[in-house]
Amino acid sequence: MKSQTLIRTNVVMATVMGALLAAGSVQAQVNVEHIVGQKVQPILPKNGEGGGVAVAVRMDGKTSFFNYGMADNAQSRSVTADSIFNLGSVGKVFATTLLAQAVKQGELSLNDPVAKYVTELQRGGDIRRITLGQLASHTSGLPDVPGQYEHWHRGKYTWPDFVRFLNSWKADPKHEPGKQYLYSDTAMVLLRIALQRRFNTPFAALMHQRLTGPLGMTSTALPLPRDLLGRAVQGYGSTGRPIGRPGMEGGTFQWPGSGQIYSSPRDMATFLVANLGELSDHRPIENAMALAQQPVFTVGPRFKLGLAWQNVPAGNFTIIDKNGGLPNTSTYIGFAPQRKLGVVILVNRGQQHATGIGRQIIHALAQDQSEPSSEGEPNPDND
């Protein structure tokens, strides 16, 4: 296969409803392609390295897809808008959207203690003070992964291991519920369990019933079922060497529903459009998304947290975004509600600069010359 094909595959443009595009819109579309192509250059694979990049852009009421490189070098599969990627911690906003939906519908409260639903924790200590809202906003005080607290533990955490850890966990001045921002994969996994218990439904099924199913996101799942595995990308390390197998679940926790969510650029574009409030027939879901986006904790003058969403200033508008990273995937979703534009970036290589590039694209599309924020950019994920 020619090297040019390895670097950049065909650009797939979404179908635009209507007879003809106005001349101005055509020019805007050309500019989108140029901006995306320019900004993603630093993370495109080089010299035969494995991997590729998928980008979805929402602007002027339409969605465009741009695909580069390979979904699987060994199989000569190019990245497309329907390739399926490991979302890493971008998947956290699915759990917090479900939480916000339940709050909007009066089914629970952000102030509910997690032990109200995960009853095994009623035997614990400080864990009983942690609320659902604190879990969702990274302000619970819990460590990113349990092993940061239990240094002696070896291997993955089973459910009994996890309960033991949570019940023995003790807060301290630097790990006080509701008082500080501490990124925590532990907290988000616990939030999934709380939602499961509240609705007596496995998290994967709950996500499908309440969110991805109604939105028509047919390529989004946890874990990835057999019928979708053929579209899963091969993950690569930062140097382009394969890591694991397509559709592989990895991470700290070992029980059903504790792994990563998988999705396609096309599905994530739908999720992006809904978060921008542009799906008129899904108002209840969009209202829940709006609640999840609202800041609930101020980290600093230029960084606030919603329910997993990051809120950062960008010139005279605001970017709401979330990033994800594992050794074999780098992901980003971000949007500017005031400008009605946003971007999704999915990379099947680890340690890529997806957050910075995503923000650069948003600034460029908004024709804003200010320097993109670096707040929240270093991604401490260890999914």
User: How high is the mean pLDDT in each 10-residue block of the chain (383 residues)?
Assistant: 43 36 41 96 91 97 97 96 97 98 98 98 98 98 95 95 98 96 97 98 98 98 95 96 92 92 98 96 96 97 96 95 96 97 97 96 95 78 42
Other beta carbons within 10 angstroms of residue 196's beta carbon come to 19
pLDDT at 11: 44
Mean pLDDT of the chain: 91
How confident is the model at residue 3, as a pLDDT? 43
pLDDT tens-place string over residues 231-264: 999 999 999 999 999 999 888 999 999 999 999 9
Please state, in angstroms and rounded to a whole number, the distance separating the CA atoms of residues 349 and 23: 37
pLDDT for the residue numbered 335? 98
For 371, residues 6+ apart whose C-beta sits below 8 A from its C-beta are none
Neighbours of 161 (CB within 10 A): 17
- Entry pTM: 0.91
The reported pLDDT for the residue numbered 48 is 82
**What is the structure's pLDDT at 13?**
39
Spell 100-124 as b/e; 16+ CB within 10 A means b. bbbbbeeebebebbbbbbbebbeeb
How is residue 30 written in tokens?
């050309």
What pLDDT score does 249 carry? 85
* 51 Cα distance to chain centroid: 19
Instruction: Specify whether the CB–CB gap between 364 and 343 falls below 8 A.
Output: no
